[in-house]
Structure 1
Amino acid sequence: MTHSDPAIEVQIQNHKQPISQQPDGPGKRIGKRGEIVVIGHVLPGGGDLFRQRIGRFQEEAGYWESRIGTVHHFTVHLFDDDTRIMISAIYDGDFLVYLDDVIQQAGPWFDSLMPGVWEGYGSASDPETAKLIHDQAHTADAFYAAYPDYSAKDIARMEKVFTAVNTILDAAS
């Protein structure tokens, strides 16, 4: 599609992001960022278990995601009248490295939510769970990443610098 205004077309071309397939699994990649969406089936009664556990899971998100250290975005949704579950993430790096980091660094967190909810989920340390995630993963049809060349660690570092500079400027005024 082209626009009647050539200036808009130039701006669109200037904002294009090179997008590729993850080199080691499902998901797209822009710069340092990858995306993945996993859609699975919920066990009978799993929706009730999910709602019982999700509050604590949410409270612990900052701790467990900081252990992984590469996550920009993470969501979990039940849908279709509690018959399906969707997990989506935007993260730094390759798919298999991210999957291994989730299992190694945040396995207990997922084990506090998913057993009895997600059909086929045993435990994070079970090799069948990694296969389940891989088999139920979907690549986005469209993917956009703001600041794709900055990792989660880069952003955390910039936040510290920003806070320090503001503290200095506040003290000087």
Structure 2
Amino acid sequence: MTAKLIENERTAMSQHISRQPDGPGKRIGKKGEISGIGKVAPGGAQLFRERLPQIQAEAGYWETRIGTVHDFRVTLIDNDTRILFTIVFDGDFKPYIADILREASPWLDQIFLGVWDGFKGTQDRKSVEELLGFAFECDFFFVSNPDVTARDVAKMRRLSGAVSELLDAAT
């Protein structure tokens, strides 16, 4: 049974949602989403929490190397028995996965190795494929500014800073 959409002033701003052309996840404009849930390895919750300060401190470095990530979250759920990740990124699924494996493998291993049950590290292609096999498309997905990429945001921040500096110098 398909629910009937009631057209009104609130639906006038509805976003066009499609699916990733090359993998799981929804797509709105230039932004895609993916989430996954896996089992936590024995001792994995404690290991994750021990690593967490370093993981968090290095996030800006690794995500800047990738350059296409808007949001990335990882959390332990269900009384530390499962691990959830969710990501909003620019572009298609397969190029994004290639980017994170090329640019951030050490960081991904720090996050998931020994924590996600069965994950043997980013150098083990089969293990990566198994991890991605737990990925799924969310039922609901919304993004602000669907056609603004992470690189566009970085460029706008630099431009804004330069204009502010110019205006400060002029006063």
- Is this a same-fold pair by TM over 0.5? yes
8 Å CA contact 1:26–1:134 kept in 2: the answer is no
Query: Counterpart in 1 of 2:111?
Result: 113
| Structure 1 segments (4+ residues) deviating >3 Å | none
- 126, 129, 132: which is aligned to 1:131? 129
Task: Kindly report which structure 2 residues correspond to 1:39-78, keeping only aligned pairs within 5 A, or say none.
Answer: 39-78=37-76
Task: Kindly report which structure 2 residues correspond to 1:17-166, keeping only aligned pairs within 5 A, or say none.
Answer: 17-166=15-164
Once the two structures are superposed, residues 101-135 of structure 1 have per-residue CA deviations (whole angstroms, 9 ceiling, x without a partner) of 11111001111232211012111121123212321
Aligned to 1:76, the other structure's residue is in SS state: strand
8 Å CA contact 2:119–2:128 kept in 1: the answer is no
Q: Residue 88 of structure 1: CA displacement?
A: 0.8
8 Å CA contact 1:36–1:90 kept in 2: the answer is yes
Q: Residue 11 of structure 1: CA displacement?
A: 5.1
Percent identity between matched residues is: 47
Q: Residue 172 of structure 1: CA displacement?
A: 2.4
8 Å CA contact 2:121–2:128 kept in 1: the answer is no
Q: What are the ranges of 5 or more consecutive residues in structure 1 without an aligned counterpart?
A: 4-8
8 Å CA contact 1:123–1:129 kept in 2: the answer is yes
Q: Residue 44 of structure 1: CA displacement?
A: 1.4
| Range with bigger deviation, 67-76 or 107-116 | 107-116
Once the two structures are superposed, residues 2-45 of structure 1 have per-residue CA deviations (whole angstroms, 9 ceiling, x without a partner) of 47xxxxx24531x1111001001100000100000011100111
Corresponding letter in the other structure for 2:98: D
RMSD of aligned C-alpha atoms?
Answer: 1.3
Q: What are the ranges of 5 or more consecutive residues in structure 2 without an aligned counterpart?
A: none
| Range with bigger deviation, 132-141 or 64-73 | 132-141
Query: 2:101 & 2:31 partners in 1: Cα distance?
Result: 19
Q: TM-score, normalised by structure 2?
A: 0.92
